[in-house]
Structure formats: C-alpha cells, structure tokens
Chains A and B, each alone.
Chain A
C-alpha cells in the first residue's frame, strides 16, 4: 500500500500536485514569520497604488503591500480551511459509521439525518450555520465544517456499507468480534484510502468555500484578513486596481487546486490502471476454405494484451455444419477469449491475429478495403453468427423491452419493418419455448428469470438463420435443473436446423453430455481434441484425465480421497518454458520442462497416456 502511494508521487501529475501542495503548506507555515512586518507596514504615501518596483502588486487603502499580504494571508486561509475540514471529517465519520456502532435502530436514525442534510447544497447549510454561530472566523469555521459533514457522512456510509456486505465482516461477527473492534480493526482500515483521498479533495473545496464566506463578509473580520476578505474588499475597485482583486483570487485557486489535484492524482493512482495500447491488426493471407462443410475455420489464433500477455497462444480448430464442439478449460485457460476472438468482440487494447479465421468461407480478420464489403461482412455475421453469453442477468440492456432487443438485429440486417421484426421476435421466443411469448416480448429483462433470459438470448441468435452459435458458459449462472433445459434447447436447435454450436464451459461433465467433440484448453493452448464419447475412456492428455477425475460425480467412490491436481493453474503472464502443465503433471520428464509440445494427432503431450492405463487412474465404479 505504501509503495502504491510512492508510485503515485512518481507520476508527473502526482509529483506536480504533491510539490504544489507542499509549497502551499510551507508558505502557510513560514510566510507570517518572514513577512508579517512588510505586510502590516502602513505607507501613507502610496495609498491604493498600482504595481510598482516597490510594491509589486500595488497597495491597499492603507498603503499596505498587497503582495506580502497575500503571502501572509495564506496561513489564516489554509489553517481555517483545515480546521473546518477536520470538523467536517470528524463529524461525518461519526455520523457515517454510527450504523456500524449503534446497531439497527440508532443506525437508521443516523442515516435519516444524513439523507435529509445531504439533500441541501453545502453553501446553503453554511449560510444557515453562519446565522446560528454568528458572523466571524469562528462562526465560519463551524458553519463550513458542519455544512461539509453530511456529504462526508454519506461517503462514509456508502463505503462502510460496501465493506459490511463482504463475508469477512460476517466471519468476524461469527468469531465474536465486538462492534467497536469491528469498526476499528476491520472496517476503517478497508475504507481508509478513499476517505483520506476524499478528505484531501474536501480540504480544497473547504478552502474555496471559506474564501466565499469571507468574500461576502460572513467570514474573517477585520483586522484579521484572509484571501477571501481581501478579494471582497478590492472587488469594487477592480476597474482601477485589478491586481488587488486578482492576486488573492489566484492564490485561492492555486491553493485549492493543490489539494484537489493531489487528491485526484492519488485517487487515480490507487485505482485500477487501464492498460493503454494501440489497436493493430495483422492482415493475414487469405486462405480459401478447404472444407466446404466447414462453418468456422480457426488456424493459429492468438489473442494478446499489452504487458505483453498472450492468453490465447495458437489455437486451431474447425467446426462443421451441425456439429457441437465443446471448449473446456479452467479460468485463465483462454477459452472465453477464444470465443470472443472468433466472434470479433475483442476490444482494444486486445489484439487478435490468426493464420486463418474464416466463417462460412469468408475471412473475418483484417481491414476490408471497400466499405460495402465491410457492410456485407457485418450482415453475414449479424444474420448467421449467434452469440450466447454467460450471464443472462447482465447481457440484456435493462432499459429496453426484450422483444425490441430481439427485433433490433432483424430490422438492421434483414430490413424488416418494426411490426414484422416484432412478430419474428415473438415467433422466435416461442421457438425457444418461452411461455406466453407475446406478453413476454413486451416485458423488460428484469421481469424474466435467469433461465428464461438465457432462452431469450438464444432466441435472439435465432432471429436470422444462424450457421453457428457460440455459447460462452451459457449455463454457469443457472441452476442445475435449468441448465439441462438450456442445453437441451441448444441440442434441439442443432438437430432441427443443422446449426453448429461452439460451447465454452469449465464443466467437463456438461460438455460430455451434449457435445460431439471436445477441445480441452490449458494455458492458452488446445491440449487435446477428442470425441465426447471417448472422454470417459479414451482421454490421453494427463490434464484431461486429471480434470475428469477431480470433479466428483454421482459415481465417485466415497471411501477414497478425490483425485487432485497439485499446484494451481498457470498465470498467462508467467508461462514456463516447455509444457505449461509440466509442473502439475505426474508424468512430466525433463523434456516436458524444456520443450513445448504441439498438438499432434489430437494431443499436445510428450507422454500421452494409453487407454489401458486408464483404469488405474480412476477408481470409481458404476
């Protein structure tokens, strides 16, 4: 954490803001010590003068030097602002963390107070408190402090609530941790960073607000002076003597910005950094499709991200008409990225290259020279290439009716009228067996259950005449019994319309039941390609076998420990030399650790296992 703060100071914006803030704070500490005398010296010979060699920014109505007064005023301005910020932070923190300490009833009261107070702009609250506490520096500090408290309390509440939902808080409660310790030990450390950042930004805001109050005469009173008061007093003379008005204004802005920019830089530095890179695409040689039955041909597909990380490293496969192919792997194996790359949905900075990537004989990669061919390609994909995503809850636009979302593509690509497209949508919803399709088409996504949404998503893919459905973990977010329904639906569509399906899943048992062929992925490579019927008995790659053995099913022997794969999946950013699975493989030899095996004869392994050895690997009986 400390290193991240240091990293922030190393960025140009962070370093600049940090230096500026340091300068402002040093000025506040030392300026009155050094220049009080010059600032208060009355020079009756030079009243209200413009800038001169003697007085850089001129003099005020008593002939005092404005430049020095601006410097000296920094202490009052910043000190009072910090005081007010402290009041706002402490009050806000107390109000905001009250729900965590007081329990339900007290917490609800605190939330209600904050909810009402936060609805009013800070300045209005400050004016209210300024009336109550009286005009003057003390009143203004209290007024601005209390006026700033509600928004800080709201922030604290939001952050506390975010942390309180997490399971470690529940775990601590079960462990018998008391409320106060919970707040101090578990909650506050986890929200400290955003609180500090916001307090810093808040200090900038407070400084400006304070200047505002002093400016209109409700803040610092004579003979004391801060930037706001100086500005207010010199405003009337702005025609004849602009420097006197502008100098304190500039000072306020610089000081306010110092706090603000520093806070923003820290906030940005502590947040997630977005990797930046250019979207470049290697145009591959167009290779004519060799297999007239092939729906999708993928040859040496690579997906890489700046870093550089290459989560998909040379995947090749062909899907034929009416074929269901399963793509299995653990998280990080590159299976979903393969699906997205095939569907042309990898967004920059991701980069997709392939020796060949063609759909129904048409190349998908590379920039097309003519605009009309680009439109043709879009239409081809729009009508013949369907996509089903993992999470049906988030994959529909929440603000549009289901029917409209289905109809949209058909209107675009098939030129259907609004009415015709909607009728088609209803018909397709019926085809995926959504009950009461007509009524359902006019509902919003949130009115659908997960399984029904996934059906609707499949129905969306059937709006055209798809040749391929790419389904990325279509059943993972669904309940077991619903999973089967969705899989069965995919199978029915395949058998009725000869549609090819690419099914991505982490669950090898799901894949076994519906697919014709299974591709097993590990660390961005296909390590084995085999018919689904042979999964149980004919797998040759040690990883495929281990994966099958590690998942308990209804026939797993109860009296023995489960087979386990030692170690953990490899990080695509740190790939070893040689076979990526070698470190976890019990058959690995020196060769495996140095030479990377390629997919030969449907298996990428130096020591493929023969079928006979299989029985010793797995002891379940049926």
Chain B
C-alpha cells in the first residue's frame, strides 16, 4: 500500500553527560506491501525506531517519510501508521470492552458495529467477544485483539514490536501465522521487530540488523541470512537455534566480551570490541578503531557497516547493479 522511509533518523534521550543516542542516523525503507524484519539485541534501538515512526518518540534529526511525504503527528488526528505492542497485558485498556477498544481506532464515520465484528472474525475471535473485557481473555487472544485494533485504523503501514515474545511458546505460532496471513491478504507494508532471528526469518521479505543504534546490515531475507556480511549478523545466526542441533556452537574468539554501553558507544566501528575478525583478534585491523564503517556502507553488499564486507560495484548504466566480490576476506 505505502512505502515507509527512515531518512537519517536520530533519536536522543536525556541531555548532557547522561544523554543517550538510541537511534543514530538510520536509513531504512519499508517498501510497499513488504515486510521488513528488524533484529537486534535489547538496547540496540529497534523499538525506539518504531516508536519514532508512530510519533511516540521525537526524532532529534532526519525525517520519516510515508510515500515521500514527511509524517506529522498531531494529537487527535488519524495516524497512517499503527502499531502492535509486545505486552498484550499492558496494551489493552482494562476498563474498556474489546469492541470499544477496536472501535476507537477506527476512522470517523465508519460503520463501527459491523466493522468490529468483521475484524474480530478476521483475527479468529468469536463475534460475541465484542463486549468482553481484556481481563477475560488469554494472552494470545489479547494479542489478536491488539492486532484487530491496529488493522481497524486502516493503516498504511503496520508496526509489530516483539509481538510474540510475551506469549507462551505454544501460542506464538498462532499469532505469527495470523500476522502472516493478514499481511498477505491486506497487502500491508510492515515493520516487524524481534530479537529472534528465526521468527524474523519466517515473517520477513527484507531483514535489517541493528546494533547500538545503527543498521549494520540490510537486504533481502534470503541473502542476508544465507550470505551474511557483517560479523554481528553472523554471530546472531550462530546463536539462533537450528533444528536438531544438540551441541552448543563453538565459542567465538571474543566470546566473553561485555556488551557496549550505549551511553558511550565505541569509536570507529561500534562492533569492534566484540568483533571476532576485528582489531582484538587481528592486530593489523587498526582502522576499525577509528574509521566509521557506516559512511561507505552503500558501496558494500547488504549495505554492511563493516570495513571487511564484500563490496558492490555499480556498473554504469547496468540495472540491476552487478554484484562483485571485491575483497575475499576470510570473514
């Protein structure tokens, strides 16, 4: 339906010595009708990026554009972006019936009653749940209501922030299935956020990896997961469960490193203190300590923020661009 674009978006919290740049100059596009999966560890800024998109956090720099037009968030106005939250126990007003919660998100003048029933059925809930309060529903059912509410706003783009991580293992699958079906039926553009690479892989067309406020790798899901360029993506892949694996993967060279402090991100490449192919292990790679790899990212495969990722050569006039392995680094 619509394209959502983050253009050099920066979000900061606090001021002075304790300031925290949660999102640092992020460029990311959610193409029309596609699902972009955003992975990263806690504190990487992925949720903040989502909250900035829906106007819950104020960007300190850059623009968020919907179909090329900057988004404006006025209180009381309809939002073209809707969001489903992580915790279904907190995201529904306990003093409002399910029907009222869904109806509130509808645009003015909609035929509310019929529409609410239709939406409930769309997410696989009985129509008689209209007058139920959230307290009477299970976590999975609540999450369905939250999805129905988000869809009720007739969004151009849907944002799903860790929507399965608060649910029981046996319930997660049903919610993931629902999201996938809805996205395909309604051809929604979607930003799907999760810390779980396997879940993201299952849902997404495009995968973006975030680390300490920056996108470090982005590309078609199959390519990124099949041929990861950034060492952090590789680490995430190694940590994700594979079917039938009965042994822990061998430890990385710098396995016991501490996660970086987001208040004081490292200079140069932000990943260098943990990087298994970085200056800690390979002393010749001193440039990682000082040179920021994001500036040249456009010239690398998957826009990887790593000096040692493979490059992309754009041949003049050729479209699509020709992919060429520039460096054969032993990544």
- A-side residues, CB < 8 A to B, are 166-168, 170-179, 185-186, 189-190, 330-331, 433, 435, 449, 451-452, 479-485, 487-488, 491, 506-510, 512-514, 532-533, 535-537, 546-547, 550-556, 558, 561-565, 568-569, 584, 620, 622
- Using A168-B92, A172-B93, A568-B138 as known contacts, list a sample of 15 further A-B pairs with CB atoms less than 8 Å apart, ordered by residue number in A: A173-B55, A175-B79, A175-B104, A179-B75, A185-B96, A189-B95, A480-B41, A507-B241, A509-B245, A513-B246, A550-B170, A562-B176, A569-B170, A584-B170, A622-B244
Given contacts A483-B239, A533-B246, A552-B202, are A433 and B256 in contact (CB under 8 A)? yes
Are B235 and A552 in contact, with the CB atoms below 8 A? no
Partner among B51, B105, B236 whose Cβ is within 8 Å of the Cβ of A175: B105
Counting CB contacts under 8 A, is B195 at the interface?
Answer: yes
User: What are the interface flags for B240-269 relative to A under an 8 Å C-beta threshold, 1 for contact and 0 otherwise?
Assistant: 111111111101000110110000000000
CB distance from B272 to the nearest CB of A (A): 15
Q: Taking CB as reference atom, which chain A residue is nearest B40? A: A479
Measured CA separation A565–B138 after assembly (Å): 15
Residues of B51-94 whose CB lies within 8 A of A? 51, 54-56, 75-79, 81-83, 85-87, 90-94
Are B83 and A170 in contact, with the CB atoms below 8 A? yes
Are B42 and A479 in contact, with the CB atoms below 8 A? yes
Measured CA separation A435–B54 after assembly (Å): 40
Given contacts A514-B248, A562-B202, are A330 and B168 in contact (CB under 8 A)? yes
Are A186 and B248 in contact, with the CB atoms below 8 A? no
Partner among B146, B236, B239, B259 whose Cβ is within 8 Å of the Cβ of A451: B259
Are A173 and B255 in contact, with the CB atoms below 8 A? no
Are A480 and B149 in contact, with the CB atoms below 8 A? no
A residues within 8 A CB of B258?
435, 449, 451-452
Q: Taking CB as reference atom, which chain B residue is nearest A568? A: B138
A residues within 8 A CB of B79?
174-176
A residues within 8 A CB of B237?
554
Measured CA separation A521–B177 after assembly (Å): 25
Counting CB contacts under 8 A, is B153 at the interface?
Answer: yes
B residues within 8 A CB of A186?
93, 95-96
Partner among A452, A491, A536, A561 whose Cβ is within 8 Å of the Cβ of B244: A536
Interface of B (DSSP majority class) = loop
Counting CB contacts under 8 A, is B34 at the interface?
Answer: no
Are B240 and A554 in contact, with the CB atoms below 8 A? yes
B residues within 8 A CB of A330?
168-170
A residues within 8 A CB of B256?
433, 435, 485
Q: Taking CB as reference atom, which chain B residue is nearest A557? A: B202
A residues within 8 A CB of B101?
168
CB distance from B46 to the nearest CB of A (A): 12
B residues within 8 A CB of A554?
197-198, 201, 225, 237, 240-243
Measured CA separation A174–B161 after assembly (Å): 14
User: What are the interface flags for B168-206 relative to A under an 8 Å C-beta threshold, 1 for contact and 0 otherwise?
Assistant: 111111101100110000000000000111110110000
Are A479 and B259 in contact, with the CB atoms below 8 A? yes
Are B56 and A173 in contact, with the CB atoms below 8 A? yes
Counting CB contacts under 8 A, is B140 at the interface?
Answer: yes
Interface of A (DSSP majority class) = helix
| Chain B count of residues within 8 A CB distance of the other chain | 72
Are B172 and A551 in contact, with the CB atoms below 8 A? yes
- B-side residues, CB < 8 A to A, are 41-42, 51, 54-56, 75-79, 81-83, 85-87, 90-96, 101, 104-105, 138, 140, 146, 149-150, 153, 168-174, 176-177, 180-181, 195-199, 201-202, 225, 235-249, 251, 255-256, 258-259
A residues within 8 A CB of B149?
171, 175
19 intermolecular pairs with C-beta atoms under 8 Å apart: A167-B87, A168-B92, A171-B85, A171-B150, A172-B104, A174-B56, A179-B75, A185-B104, A190-B95, A484-B248, A487-B248, A551-B241, A554-B240, A554-B242, A556-B198, A565-B170, A565-B173, A622-B242, A622-B243
Given contacts A174-B79, A550-B169, A562-B177, are A479 and B251 in contact (CB under 8 A)? no
- How many pairs of residues, A versus B, come closer than 8 Å at their CB atoms? 205
Are B243 and A546 in contact, with the CB atoms below 8 A? no
CB distance from B328 to the nearest CB of A (A): 25
Measured CA separation A495–B247 after assembly (Å): 14
Measured CA separation A512–B149 after assembly (Å): 38
A residues within 8 A CB of B77?
176
A residues within 8 A CB of B177?
561-562, 564
Partner among A167, A484, A565 whose Cβ is within 8 Å of the Cβ of B239: A484
Given contacts A479-B41, A485-B256, are A553 and B240 in contact (CB under 8 A)? yes
Measured CA separation A91–B236 after assembly (Å): 54
Q: Taking CB as reference atom, which chain B residue is nearest A571? A: B138
Partner among A179, A513, A532 whose Cβ is within 8 Å of the Cβ of B76: A179
B residues within 8 A CB of A620?
243
Measured CA separation A173–B150 after assembly (Å): 12
B residues within 8 A CB of A168?
90-93, 101
Are A536 and B54 in contact, with the CB atoms below 8 A? no
B residues within 8 A CB of A535?
244, 246
Measured CA separation A434–B170 after assembly (Å): 36
Q: Taking CB as reference atom, which chain B residue is nearest A543? A: B170
Given contacts A167-B87, A485-B256, A554-B240, are A176 and B96 in contact (CB under 8 A)? no
